[in-house]
Amino acid sequence: MLLKEDIPKNLQTTLDGAVDWINTKYQANFELTGLADTKIPTDIKTPFELGVVLCDGEICDRKQIAFQPSETGFEFSVIDLVEPAVPPLLDPPEGNRVGWLDQQLEKFEFVLLLYYRGLW
C-alpha cells in the first residue's frame, strides 16, 4: 500500500478528480488515504487503473478505478475485481468479528487486535 503522502505529485490532481467523482457517484464524503497498488503508472496519458483507499471518518473502502484520459481531463469508472488483495470493505462483518473474538477469549486470557489502514 502506498500512503497518501507518498503519491507522486503528478498523480495527485488526477486522484483528486477521481475522489470527487466517487463522492458524487456514491453521495459520500470520502477522502483519499492511500493507494492499494504500489505500482504507479509512469505515463498518465494512456489508460490505467489504480486501487484507491478511501475513508470518510467511520468507514474505509477500497475501489478499483479505471482512468481514461480525455480532452477535458479524465473519465473514471469503477472496476469490479473478482478477489482483490485488499478487500473492498475494510472492516470484517460484525457477526464474524464477534464470533471469532468469543472463541479466542475462551482460549486466552486476553486478545490483542491490531487494525492498520483497513486491514485486520
Domain ranges of the chain: 2-89, 91-120
34-63 burial, b at 16+ Cβ within 10 Å, e below that, comes to bbbbeeebeebeeebbbbbbbbeeeebbbb
- CATH number assigned to the domain covering 2-89: 3.10.450
pLDDT digit string, tens, across residues 54-107 = 888 667 788 999 999 999 889 999 998 665 555 555 554 455 555 667 777 888
- Model-wide pTM > 0.75: no
For residues 46 and 11, give the distance between their C-alpha atoms in angstroms, rounded to a whole number.
Answer: 13
For residues 86 and 62, give the distance between their C-alpha atoms in angstroms, rounded to a whole number.
Answer: 7
Q: Is the pLDDT of residue 52 over 60?
A: yes
